[in-house]
Amino acid sequence: MKISTKGRYALRLMLDLTLYGGQKPVRLKEIAARQEISLKYLEQIISVLQKGRYVKSIRGPQGGYCLMREPKDYTVGQILRLIEGELAPVACLEEAANPCSRQELCVTLRLWKELDLAIKGVVDKYTLADLAAWSGEALEKGCCEQRGCEQ
Amino acid sequence: MKISTKGRYALRLMLDLTLYGGQKPVRLKEIAARQEISLKYLEQIISVLQKGRYVKSIRGPQGGYCLMREPKDYTVGQILRLIEGELAPVACLEEAANPCSRQELCVTLRLWKELDLAIKGVVDKYTLADLAAWSGEALEKGCCEQRGCEQ
DNA sequence: CTTTTTTCCTATTAGTTTCGTAGGAATTAT
DNA sequence: ATAATTCCTACGAAACTAATAGGAAAAAAG
């Protein structure tokens, strides 16, 4: 039940674009440095984001990437789903209407459905704009002076 | 973000013990047949449940397994955690107080914390007794006549 | 005391996924 | 022409998943 590094990195990448992307495109190299993530790995991740039309690229010198929409128009869930696939905690919930084959199936299925809703409730509640706003708050509060975490 | 088969099977195993375990211990062979799970695989899973003192065993003919406590005293979360390890969606949340190293860390961490709480909120809300009660309801309603699901 | 049934223990394995690294091609601003 | 940047594909090591397998140990039944 872990979010993969790819999913977490994609979110940080998109947040970086939100925070540092303005008129000019942002170079992946900069993002890699700021986020301390390998450039080559980020290339793979952003390639998926581009194919999903979440970002657009400009090639050549002074090139880079921009968001395609407003930060408020990307939910965390959309980004994670694009990179990680369905977030449903069991495969059974991914397609529609898989009827059960054992007495207690309905039982565990009901549980997984509730869990699924709880997860969706969080990841679809927040957008990049929310994360960016939190980021602003964090800076004001003088947070983040210590080190040691891998997130 | 998937629950592994081991976690799902462990839950079904414990529910089976709840539903079919009375005075007598339940043989793993029976559970394997009812749940359509390989006996050998269930042995590995129940061995963890036993080491965690969630079930006790009786060896030899007429042997089997029993729950150690009342069904209401096992939450789904406890069972899943014993088998799968921490359910936290990112490793950072597993230990206490991992301070951040980047501006937006606090931001994504806040998100992961909310997600973690949402997940815990569901899995720690229900006990085996709840699942057993749902199972009863399902039977009454004549549910589960179709086939095709792998859960 | 032998047989049978059951749990218990440990090893193996095929396949998949994760988490990258690597090399170079294509594009384009300067 | 050069250099910076994205783009594309392949490779690989390590870990994890989802089992299968063989047999040892315990104990009830005959």
Measured between CB atoms, which of A84, A100, A126 is closest to B149? Answer: A100
Buried b / exposed e across B84-119, counting CB within 10 Å, b at 16+? beebbbbbbbeeeebebebbbbbbbbbbbbbbbebb
Contacts of B75 (CB under 8 A, 6+ apart): B123, B124, B125, B126, B127
What is the architecture, at CATH level 2, of domain B5-140? Orthogonal Bundle (1.10)
A2-61 pLDDT tens trace: 999 999 999 999 999 999 998 899 999 999 999 999 999 999 999 999 999 999 999 999
Which 30-89 residues of chain B touch chain A by CB within 8 A? 34-36, 76, 84, 87-89
Domain ranges of chain B: 5-140
The answer to whether residue A122 neighbours chain B at the CB level (below 8 Å) is yes
What's the pTM?
Answer: 0.90
A77-106 pLDDT tens trace: 999 999 999 999 998 887 654 555 665 667
CA of A70, C1' of C24: distance in angstroms? 35
Q: Which fold has domain A5-86+127-140?
A: Arc Repressor Mutant, subunit A (1.10.10)
A147/B101 touch (CB, cutoff 8 Å), yes or no: yes
Quickly count: other Cβ atoms within 10 Å of residue B137's Cβ.
Answer: 12
Contact B14, B74 (CB under 8 A): yes
CA of A149, C1' of D20: distance in angstroms? 40
Q: Chain B: residue nearest A142 by CA?
A: B103
